[in-house]
Amino acid sequence: MELRDALRSTGSIREFTDAVVSRETLYEILDDARFAPSGGNRQAWHVIVVDDPARRLALRDLYLDGWHDYIAHVINGLIPFSPLASDADRATALASRERAESLSKPDSFPEQLHRVPVMLVITADLEILAAIDRDLPRYQIVGGASIYPFVWQILLAARERGLGGVMTTIATRNEEQVREVVSIPSTHAVASVVALGYPVQRHTKLTRRRVEEFTSINCFDGQPFTA
């Protein structure tokens, strides 16, 4: 597959066939993904391949709990867990938790997470992560630059082999419980739970904003950058 085609067609896949993903294929995916860039080339990621049914089910329950909180925000017209949301908005959203639970569908991705062909828990080693913005008086985000390119390369490497997948962060809502389920040390943070498998259907047309809609020249409110 040409790189340009992969970049334009690797969408989030949440529905998989029953086809088994071999250990060899998963190893090859991780073997390619490890060449992702990271701060100081410290490669602060760790991958837990979860195939134990009991652990998978426990992770599904923790994910689903966070998902209901996520949906509670959505049905109130809010961006879920926005760093700039007010405490009042968050309280309003979480008050709709029961309604969010009522919208749960047994055959949807959150409810079926434990059945995905491949489940990976990706952690970030906080002892070697270069979080340059750690002391700024705002939400911290920069440290993710040393972790999420690796996760994205997992998805690209999977795409190359005919698989699909999705990078999720919902389970991090219950990080301490996730830590217990898969024995994550206190020095690591839960960065993502990744699901992989052979897709039932692959998206052939992804919808994204045009370059002119997210660029500007010289300053934030400058003229859009065009061809």
Indicate if the pLDDT at residue 213 is higher than 90.
Answer: yes
Does a structural domain hold residue 118? yes
Q: Are the C-beta atoms of 39 and 145 separated by less than 8 Å?
A: yes
Give CA–CA dist 100/130, Å, rounded: 37
Does a structural domain hold residue 183? yes
Does a structural domain hold residue 153? yes
Does a structural domain hold residue 142? yes
Structural domain that includes position 37:
3-51+114-214
Does a structural domain hold residue 80? no
Q: Which residue has the higher pLDDT, 203 or 38?
A: 38
Look at residue 64 in the predicted model and tell me its pLDDT. 97
Give CA–CA dist 94/55, Å, rounded: 27
* Burial classification of residue 64, based on how many CB atoms lie within 10 Å of its CB (0-12 exposed, 13-18 middle, 19 or more buried): buried
- How far apart, in Å, are the Cα atoms of 212 and each of 7, 128, 215, 222, 226? 19, 37, 6, 11, 6
> What does the pLDDT look like over 185-195, one tens digit per residue?
999 999 999 99
pTM over 0.85: yes
> What does the pLDDT look like over 109-123, one tens digit per residue?
999 999 999 999 999
Look at residue 1 in the predicted model and tell me its pLDDT. 80
> What does the pLDDT look like over 153-199, one tens digit per residue?
999 999 999 999 999 999 999 999 999 999 999 999 999 999 999 99
Look at residue 85 in the predicted model and tell me its pLDDT. 92
The CATH number of residue 25's host domain is: 3.40.109.10
Q: Are the C-beta atoms of 42 and 130 separated by less than 8 Å?
A: yes
> What does the pLDDT look like over 70-91, one tens digit per residue?
999 999 999 999 999 999 998 9
Number of domains, the chain = 1
Does a structural domain hold residue 71? no
Give CA–CA dist 85/67, Å, rounded: 18
Does a structural domain hold residue 106? no
Instruction: Find the angle CA(128)-CA(134)-CA(137) to the nearest 5 degrees.
Output: 175
Does a structural domain hold residue 67? no
- Comparing CA positions, the residue from 63, 70, 12 lying closest to residue 175 is 63
* Burial classification of residue 161, based on how many CB atoms lie within 10 Å of its CB (0-12 exposed, 13-18 middle, 19 or more buried): middle
Look at residue 142 in the predicted model and tell me its pLDDT. 96
